[in-house]
Amino acid sequence: MAETQIAASGPQVNIAHRLQHTAARMPSKRAVVQTAGRDSQDRMAYSHLTFAELDRASDRLALGLAHAGIVRGTKTVLMVKPGIDFFVLIFALFKVGAVPVVVDPGMGMQRMLRCLESTTPRAFIGIPAAHVVRAFFPRFFRSTKITVTAGRRLFWGGTTLAHLSRHPWQPYEPAATRRDETAAILFTTGSTGPAKGAVYTHGNFDAQIQQIQDHFAIGEDEIDLPTFPLFALFDPALGMTAVIPDMDPRKPAQVDPEKIIRPIRHHGVTNMFASPALLNRVGRFGRQNRIRLPSLRRVVSAGAPVSPANIAQFATMLSAEAQVHTPYGATEAVPIISIGSHEILSETRAMSEQGRGMCVGRPLPHTRIRIIRITDDPIPVWDDRLEVQPGEIGEIIVQGELVTRRYYRHPRADALAKIQDGDRFWHRMGDLGWQDDQGRIWFCGRKSHRVITADGDMYTIPCEAIFNNHPQVFRSALVGIGTPPRQEPVICIERHADQATGDTKYLENALQDLAASHPLTAPIRRILFHPSFPVDIRHNAKIFREKLARWAAKQIRGK
């Protein structure tokens, strides 16, 4: 019997059916590949499951989960590393109709624990280290009644994945979940505020997978290198082989480039997801060593704005036909807009570098985008008068089947992020941008990061682009000091690592002259140098401007 009453409606949808269809169509194709060490000749060894094996393994585990009490509607914390067990487990959970709860452990221990506690999970599945955390902080898991260890179980009791998978194989019919039934709770990183649990329905997942498959023209011969774990779960549903990279997914900015390049070459990888930080690190290594990766058809980079220079650097490794795609979205709605490197490098790059914003492309099919006036207040009901004039900067909002309808038990966040429009709704992205006469959206930064001065608003991405043009600047960040509407704009500068020492006075003077030469940055009078910007945990690319603003205020008060 389900943990909670199922009150969903609409047609039956379950992502597990996609795995079954792929297994029937391509049973011998590899579904998941992971590193298994080296042989006596120092050659890489790999282990894998075919699609048929993955389907059968998840059938066996689904039966074991159901016997253990993890059934339709059971909220289940999932803390398992990317790999074969992760894929077997996630599809077993979908088959029984359970609700995985996924939190990024890199957000910090206390924040992670509060997020998990807020969902009142009944089950907890994790690696031994995750169970140690649960054992040492029991008050956050008072609702948890079922515990499963992925690996060796020690003092904490419960059962193991191996034990639950011991059943002889028999076909397991996926739960008859409905389109608007909860499928998962995925927490945002909280990089611009408190972390919130986005409630994904089976319909959201289905629309998301279809959007990805259609837009990127994913073929049946595709092989993916998913460097971001959450994106990996789509691979079996898309019919792609997932080659799990040998890296710490929490630290993409510190990845060993050879551990990314090697599996691409070994397996003929055609598709790769890379955060901007990983893209930069691997691209710099590849350009310096004149590396070519002809098997790659596309590279998808998201999680933070991707600079044209970063794209151009990585593109030196690709064939002329391959592209770096920069889809735009958020945990609550992704992908909703996209653009490829051919258009970026040939058309939009020059405009971005002159402060027009970062072009993120055109809305994808079945997705509606609007730009509305900027306000920090809730907007309960849609009104056409909310829209701004063409070319005017406002907040980006989206409507579509892949957009999540609500947050888990967070009515205040719902009120701030959702606009009712009849029997539909708009999701407010919290991002600012404008639309050009070709229908392209230009991203100008987070709404919460705008600097509100006595002379008007200043936006992060356009202003920072002016400073980023200087060859000694790795990246910059606009922050506001003081209270709106009389904030003082301050630019923080992080230099390239090989230029981070020595006298900054010459560079400061050069950047002051650069600021004065452009109307967007002319109001900026203060320039501060920071050794290494604080960035988000998930992608190592989003700048924590709130932390930088506090640091800048202390620097200025100390002068």
Instruction: Map out the domains of the chain as residue ranges.
Output: 16-206, 450-558
pLDDT in tens, 186-204: 998 776 678 899 999 999 9
pLDDT in tens, 433-464: 999 999 999 999 999 999 999 999 999 999 99
Specify the higher pLDDT residue, 144 or 38. Answer: 144
* Residue 381 DSSP one-character state: B
pLDDT surpassing 80 at residue 6: no
Least trusted range by pLDDT, from 231-245, 335-349, 534-548:
534-548
Predicted model pTM: 0.94
Strand partners of residue 476: 493
Q: How far is CA 18 from CA 224, 233, 234, in A?
A: 17, 12, 10
Task: Check if the beta carbon of residue 30 is closer than 8 Å to that of residue 49.
Answer: yes
* Residue 240 DSSP one-character state: P
Confidence of residue 373 (pLDDT cuts 50, 70, 90): very high
pLDDT in tens, 54-87: 999 999 999 999 999 999 999 999 999 989 999 9
Q: Which two tokens stand for residue 159?
A: 């059962």
Top CATH class, 16-206: alpha beta
Cα-atom radius of gyration of the chain, to the nearest Å? 24
On average, the pLDDT of the chain sits at 94
Q: Which positions ≥6 away from 407 have C-beta within 8 Å?
A: 196, 197, 198, 199, 413, 414, 417
Nearest Cα to Cα of residue 442 among 388, 372, 385, 394: 394
The residue assigned the tokens 């044209």 is 308
pLDDT surpassing 60 at residue 3: no
Task: Check if the beta carbon of residue 93 is closer than 8 Å to that of residue 102.
Answer: no
pLDDT mean over 320-333? 96
Least trusted range by pLDDT, from 151-160, 179-188, 229-238:
229-238
Q: In the prediction, which pLDDT does 234 show?
A: 87
For CA atoms 241, 247, 249, 254, the dihedral sign is negative
* Residue 277 DSSP one-character state: H
Per CATH, domain 450-558 is 3.30.300.30 = yes
Q: Which positions ≥6 away from 377 have C-beta within 8 Å?
A: none
pLDDT in tens, 397-443: 999 999 999 999 999 999 999 999 999 999 999 999 999 999 999 99
C-alpha 231/C-alpha 148 separation (Å) is 24
Question: Exposed (0-12), middle (13-18) or buried (19+): which is 151, by Cβ within 10 Å?
Answer: middle
pLDDT surpassing 70 at residue 380: yes
Nearest Cα to Cα of residue 86 among 31, 45, 4: 31
Q: In the prediction, which pLDDT does 559 show?
A: 62
Q: Which positions ≥6 away from 223 have C-beta within 8 Å?
A: 240, 241, 243, 267, 268, 269, 270, 271, 295
Task: Check if the beta carbon of residue 88 is closer than 8 Å to that of residue 63.
Answer: no
C-alpha 180/C-alpha 224 separation (Å) is 29
pLDDT surpassing 90 at residue 304: no
pLDDT mean over 215-233? 90
Q: In the prediction, which pLDDT does 2 show?
A: 45
C-alpha 533/C-alpha 529 separation (Å) is 10
Confidence of residue 49 (pLDDT cuts 50, 70, 90): very high
The percentage of the chain sitting over the pLDDT mark of 90, rounded to a whole number, equals 86
Q: What is the DSSP string of 285-316?
A: HHHHTT---TT--EEE--SS---HHHHHHHHT
Around 82, how many Cα atoms within 13 Å sit in the side-chain half-sphere? 25
pLDDT in tens, 102-149: 997 767 789 899 999 999 999 999 999 999 999 999 999 999 999 999
C-alpha 534/C-alpha 556 separation (Å) is 19
C-alpha 37/C-alpha 15 separation (Å) is 32
